[in-house]
Amino acid sequence: MSAAISNPVPASPATPIAVGEPAPGSAALRRRQLAAIIRMELKKGFFGKRAIGLWLLALAPPAMLALRLFFTRDTRGDSIAELFDLAQAQAIFAGAIYQAFLLRVIVFLGCVGIFGNLIRREVLDRTLHYYFLAPIRREILVLGKYLTGLIVAGFLFGLSTVASFLLTFAPIPGGTRFLLQGPGLGHLFAYVATTLLACVGYGAIFLTLGFFFRSPAIPALLIFGWEGIHFLLPPLLKKASVIHYLQSLMPVPVSDGPLALLSDAPSKPVAVIGLLIFAGLLVAISARRARGMEIKYEED
Amino acid sequence: MSAPTKGTNDQIVLDNVSKFYGEVLGVNRIDLTIPPGITGLVGPNGSGKTTLMNLLVGLLRPSAGTVSVRGLSPDRPETMFREIGFATQVDAFPTGVTGFEFVELLLRVYGFSASDAKARATKALDRVGLTEAGGRKVAGYSKGMRQRIKLAQAMAHDPSVLILDEPLNGLDPMARAEVIALFRELSTAGKHVLVSSHILHEVDLISDQVVLLNGGYVVAEGEIGGVRDEMEEEHPVQVMIRCDQPSLLASKLFEADHVVEARITNDRRGLLVSTKDADGFHLLLNRIVLENNLAVESIVPADADVHAVYQYLIEQGGR
């Protein structure tokens, strides 16, 4: 049954745009909205309760190096760092400290925690609708969240890379000269750039997984395994791993061991551009997914 | 069911909208045209109220049919959400924010400049009576304060359509009265105020029109009086008359065919009459009162409110 609903009052005009304010849909408005999202998310990313774990994770490598430096002494009581020469230190940092630990474990897990939760955590906290109800394209929201993740991950793990590098080289004989007059700063720059690109690549992967999986733990574990065995993969499959491109950016080549299947490493420009395109594609897929995303927290 | 008017820029239009969650029905074949004013959305739990509201704002996408809010589609969020404010039932907020920050930060996301966002947030908090509490963390707010801060956030950008899911839950009587007055003010300004509630008395009190939902279907819509009139045949209208001679009045009323029942109250000062023709009844009553010189204390509709309509349509399954 039905009855006609009367129209008791005239409709109001559309919300006016203030003089000097950017028009809806304009690039200026989108930039302003992007900045607002990043500002709002950065606070959570750096100082939220869940950020504590990320800070601890990022500080773990330099903390372990510092502890090793101060508490591991040889029989004469000298720091063990003094037992290494510069060449040994470079090889140890590139292989064991940076690639095996910092890049493959710390940055990888950090990116799972940061990017995998950008959307998923909002759904679990039941706060995503505040963004979805704003006059903003969801593509801008996804981009804003991704950029926030990059800033947080880049800062934390960039800092971790710098601290680990300095704690490795500064105490060894000739380390200061290596850093200030030799190629040390160039190496440091290359390692930081590699870390940032790792955040770009892994970040895009886990952002996307956050849209497709309720929990990113299992796919993250699979990717962790895939990245871990990439040196055993045939050349074609190697190209489907992030670490393959990151390795070519490292200033000191790292041997993958006797079992590794050899393949041509991509050139630095190919690695950088390839990773950026790969990340861009994944962010675009995430944005498309967000556009059609529904929110249903509970039954009414 | 009223036919929806497509393309109208001052109305909310749902055109044959259905939503299924897999095999489970959310809402089915909803045709609605809602004009500005306060519209109450009424129905028991699981009737589809929240689903309908979520469809209006694009948090859910219809399985079939189309939704238009003042001529705008959820596919164009940049324009649509300048015109819509939605306060959900969800009692969750970004962590660590104060009431003021909650409103102000989201206004920045909406695209307002820093100074404009601050001014609007201040005004919105003032309108819901949270100026003093604005500097405190939302996590420390009472349920009523959290309801009010959601309301402030929903209307801070001055939307022309406010959609509010159970907005009066948790409010104390004073706050309820203030919020209802605010709805009236917004309605008078020509805005849509769509309010869901299961507290029928409140819906009756505040709504210009109602939409009754049950099991995912719209079972009635319109002004509550109009809806009630359409049910006269199945459910005769009841009128309570308090007068000095209820027995005489009853005997005179029974001469009319449309009067199906008349019961004298226990205190013998009142008469509850059931009639299938409300207009004819009131004419007849006037004539009897004048001809018999009855002293009438009051004439009150006994079941012309949303509660009665709800009971007839939903609790009794339309019997």
Residues B96-124: tens digit of each pLDDT: 899 999 999 999 999 999 999 999 999 99
Evaluate whether residue A6 is within a structural domain: no
Does residue A218 fall inside a structural domain? yes
Q: Please report the pLDDT score of residue A182 as a whole number.
A: 84
Choice between B198 and B286, residue whose per-residue pLDDT is larger: B286
Express each pLDDT in B240-286 by its tens digit: 899 999 999 999 998 888 888 889 988 888 999 988 887 888 889 88
Say yes or no to pLDDT of B46 above 90. no
The answer to whether residue A132 is domain-embedded is yes
Residue B266: burial class (beta carbons within 10 Å; 0-12, 13-18, 19+): exposed
When scoring B67, B75, B109, B233 by the number of chain A Cβ atoms within 10 A, the one with the most, hence best to mutate, is B109
**Is A12 within a domain?**
no
Same domain, B217 and B253: no
Write out the H or E segment, with its range, that includes residue B161: strand B161-165
Please report whether residue A280 resides in a domain: yes
Q: Is residue A263 one of the residues assigned to a domain? A: yes
pLDDT for res B214: 87
Is the CB of B317 inside 8 Å of chain A's CB atoms?
Answer: no
Task: Write out the residue range of the structural domain in which residue A272 sits.
Answer: 36-72+80-291
B168 and B262 together in one domain: no
Pairing relationship of beta strands B217-222 and B84-87 according to DSSP bridges: unpaired
Say yes or no: B101 and B53 in one domain: yes
C-alpha span between A89 and A91 (Å, rounded):
5
For A3, name the nearest residue in chain B, comparing CA atoms only: B222
Q: What is the residue range of B293's domain?
A: 236-302
Q: Which residues of A184-197 are buried (b: 16+ CB within 10 A; e: fewer)?
A: beebbebbbbbbbb
Instruction: Establish if A16 touches chain B: CB-CB under 8 angstroms.
Output: no
Report d(CA B209, CA B207) in Å as an integer. Answer: 5
Model pLDDT for residues A118-173, shown as the tens digit of each residue = 998 898 899 999 999 999 999 999 999 999 999 999 999 999 999 999 999 888 88
Distances in Å between the alpha carbon of A247 and those of A92, A103, A295, B258, B265?
15, 10, 40, 91, 92
Task: Give the ranges where chain B is alpha helix by DSSP (H).
Answer: 49-56, 77-83, 99-110, 114-127, 143-155, 173-188, 200-206, 224-229, 246-253, 278-292, 306-310
Tokens of A250: 């490292």
Q: What is the DSSP code (8-state) at residue B167?
A: T
- Assign residue B118 the CATH number of its domain: 3.40.50.300
Whether B23 and B78 share a structural domain:
yes
A12 and B CB contact within 8 Å: yes
A52 at B interface, C-beta within 8 A: no
Position A11 pLDDT exceeds 70: no
Helix A51-71 to helix A27-47 angle, to the nearest 10 degrees? 50
| Mutation for testing the A interface, residue in B78, B110, B162 having most A CBs under 10 Å | B78
Whether B314 is in a domain gets the answer no
The answer on pLDDT for A2 being more than 50 is no
Given B224, B256, B289, the domain boundary residue is B224
CATH number at residue B243: 3.30.70.100
Q: Tell me which of B183, B202, B224 is where a domain ends.
A: B224
Do B206 and B273 reside in the same domain of the chain?
Answer: no
Q: In terms of domains, do B164 and B269 share one? A: no
Cross-strand bridge partners of residue B193: B38, B162
Q: Which residue of A has its CA nearest to B222?
A: A5
Statement: residue B78 has pLDDT above 80: yes
ipTM of this complex prediction, to 2 decimal places: 0.81
Q: How many domains does chain A have?
A: 1
SS3 label, residue A213: coil
pLDDT at A18: 55
A90 within domain boundaries: yes
What percent of chain A is modeled with pLDDT above 70? Answer: 85
Domain assignment present for residue A283? The answer is yes
DSSP code at position A17:
P
- Domain membership of residue B2 (yes or no) is no
Size of interface A-B (CB pairs under 8 A): 190
Q: Is A296 on the interface with B (CB under 8 A)?
A: yes
Distance CA A112, CA A161 (A): 18
- Considering the domain architecture, whether residues B256 and B134 belong to the same structural domain is answered as no
pLDDT of residue A82: 60
Looking at the fold, whether B143 and B260 belong to one and the same domain comes out as no
My answer on whether B114 and B179 are in the same domain is: yes
> Number of folded domains in chain B?
2
What residue of B is the nearest CA neighbor of A29? B111
Confirm or reject contact between B78 and chain A (CB < 8 A): yes
